[in-house]
Amino acid sequence: MTLKRNIGPLGLTFVAVSGVIGSGWIFGPLIAAQIAGPAALVSWAIGGIGMLVLALSYAEISSIIPVAGGIARLPAFSHGKTTTMVMGWTAWLGYNTQAPIETIAALDYLAAYYPAIRDGTDTQFSLSPLGMSVAIALLAFFTWINAIGVRFFARTNTAITWIKIIIPVLLAACLIDLEFNPGNFTEYGGFMPMGWSGVFAAVASGGIVFSFIGFRHAIDMAGETSNPQRTIPMAIIFSILLCIAIYSVLQLAFIGALSHEQLAEGWSHIKLGNKLGPLASLVVALGITWITLTLYAGVFIGPVGAALVSTGSGGRLVLAMAENDLFPDFFRQLSSRSIPLRGMLLNLVIGALTVVAFSFEQVVTLNSATIILSFSIGPVALVCFRKQFPHLKRRFRLPVAEIVGVVGFALATLIIYWSGWQIVLLMFAVLGSGVVVFLLHIALRRLPLAALNLGNAVWLLPYLLGIAGLSYLGNYGGGRGIVSQPWDLLLALVLSGVSFVMAVACRLSTDEAQTNLDRARVATADRPREGILDEKVP
């Protein structure tokens, strides 16, 4: 039983859009404004463009090797097992936090109408036992929808995504039309009250990166995409451009709608007056009662749609880890509907434990710490694939790929640094747990050292240690502040440049990479041949 290529251009585009427009649009405008003030608009632009550069790398490499769970699978073709373990393990743990995050965010808004969902404290996103039960039931429901089949999933997600697009745009238009204060952009400390450090911090910690990383779901479902060389690049690029526009307009409307009373104590202490959430608070304060029900429908459907997509992607990631021999062969088996159901059930158990055992803030922090690192391999693989697989046909071929790769890797490095020392420290703890699992895997399977591609992963050690040292000495998230601006940014760029050159140099040889590709061809031998894997330049 193999995966079926049933997702078309609109379906895959809306998979990416649904992943991006989740709970980020509900809380992101407030958090970004608290960190950067009106310059949050700049933060959204930087974050969106940065993610677009990263996405362009994946648009090419995923279209020529469209495999399920691409984030975890693609490093196997460029650098082998050890690098794949690092990137795949961190991505998998991050994916398992995504659906719980979105589910808890949706329920937190509903708690305004059903207070029993919350635990009775003043802490936001804190669920009662009833709320936890509802959250776990929703996670099981998302798994069921994905289990029915990819075609049903795509149609369901497309319908949900139309709603997710319309409601934020409608809300932003109403706020701009009824209450827009231009003075908010120049008063209360000016346009950039926290300086550039606030702008950069908002990119990593203001919900911006958290929002845009949702485009990755289109990569993870590449193995079920029809005509992947055309569909994947179009879906990734269009989804990010559309979401940059939506988030920017929403942030503009939010800043402009704030009153003098709400900004009296400055941007970092915005007073909204109730627990309904930032957007609902503005709607209530402005008396736009007719849109309240629509807003609540949107803030529930938005995260629910993102959780639905994340559930499907997480299952493909488990499949990818199994195909990379990092998870048991048990998870390679597909259901009768060609769905990686076993992987999704594993993720459901972990998601349920996440809801019960961790606070919302801990889960969000873990999500940011894990997924950001896994993205850094895309720009590296872009350049490596040009050297390893020059014969593969590329209907979507990036110009100046080396420049795009260097810039994309630098942006990924900066985003990790801007996340702060505390998140980087957590990232290392996550990697440590992955190393333990990897060592157990090696021992149980008695794998020879030559099969681990340790030499191809040596670039990771100085890169990760460099990030750790710079984060500890830097200015974000608990850093000591010893290295001041702009020297910290300069050091981050130097680190990324040297590490990028090392990473490309450490790639698998052409023969080794071709061997891995041939194995993937065998695995997809009876799938529809629509410009995938074995297609070469005439």
Other CB atoms within a 10 A radius of the CB of residue 433 amount to 12
pLDDT at 192: 92
Whether residue 415 is predicted with pLDDT greater than 60 in this model: the reply is yes
Better pLDDT: 230 or 146:
146
Task: Give the span between the Cα atoms of 402 and 392, in whole angstroms.
Answer: 18
Q: Which of 268, 278, 218, 222 has its CA nearest to residue 242?
A: 218
Confidence of residue 121 (pLDDT cuts 50, 70, 90): low
Confidence of residue 2 (pLDDT cuts 50, 70, 90): low
Confidence of residue 536 (pLDDT cuts 50, 70, 90): very low
Percent of the chain with pLDDT over 70: 88
Q: Mean pLDDT throughout 411-434? A: 83
Task: Give the span between the Cα atoms of 412 and 198, in whole angstroms.
Answer: 18
pLDDT at 537: 33
Copy the structure tokens of residue 67: 């495999």
- The residues, ordered by sequence, that sit 6+ positions from 453 with a Cβ below 8 Å of its Cβ are 79, 80, 81, 82, 83, 508
CB 346 within 8 A of CB 322: no
pLDDT at 74: 82
Whether residue 345 is predicted with pLDDT greater than 80 in this model: the reply is yes
Confidence of residue 346 (pLDDT cuts 50, 70, 90): very high
Q: Mean pLDDT throughout 143-157? A: 78
Write down the pTM of the prediction: 0.78
Q: Mean pLDDT of all residues in the chain?
A: 81
pLDDT at 317: 83
The lowest-confidence range among 66-75, 329-338, 527-536 is 527-536
Task: Give the span between the Cα atoms of 98 and 317, in whole angstroms.
Answer: 13
pLDDT at 118: 83
- Measured at the CA of 36, the angle between CA 30 and CA 40, to 5 degrees, comes to 70
| Alpha carbon separation from 139 to 124, 172, 346, 348 (Å, rounded) | 20, 30, 12, 7
H or E element: which one contains 233? helix 228-257
381-404 pLDDT tens trace: 999 999 998 888 777 788 888 998
Other CB atoms within a 10 A radius of the CB of residue 90 amount to 24
Cα-Cα-Cα-Cα torsion 223, 364, 107, 314, nearest 10 degrees, comes to 20
Q: Judging by beta carbons within 10 Å of its beta carbon (0-12, 13-18, 19+), is residue 345 exposed, middle or buried? A: middle
Whether residue 100 is predicted with pLDDT greater than 80 in this model: the reply is yes
Task: Give the span between the Cα atoms of 505 and 525, in whole angstroms.
Answer: 31
pLDDT at 538: 31
- Measured at the CA of 334, the angle between CA 347 and CA 394, to 5 degrees, comes to 95
pLDDT at 111: 78
Whether residue 1 is predicted with pLDDT greater than 60 in this model: the reply is no
Domains of the chain: 9-368 (1.20.1740.10)
Other CB atoms within a 10 A radius of the CB of residue 403 amount to 12
Whether residue 533 is predicted with pLDDT greater than 60 in this model: the reply is no
Task: Give the span between the Cα atoms of 59 and 235, in whole angstroms.
Answer: 9
pLDDT at 530: 35
Task: Give the span between the Cα atoms of 480 and 465, in whole angstroms.
Answer: 16
3-state SS, residue 536: strand
CB 386 within 8 A of CB 401: yes
Task: Give the span between the Cα atoms of 25 and 46, in whole angstroms.
Answer: 17
Whether residue 169 is predicted with pLDDT greater than 60 in this model: the reply is yes
269-312 pLDDT tens trace: 887 755 556 776 777 777 776 677 777 777 777 788 888 888 88
Confidence of residue 223 (pLDDT cuts 50, 70, 90): low
Confidence of residue 378 (pLDDT cuts 50, 70, 90): confident
pLDDT at 3: 55
pLDDT at 535: 40
pLDDT at 463: 95
pLDDT at 137: 94
| Alpha carbon separation from 315 to 327, 346, 430 (Å, rounded) | 12, 8, 20
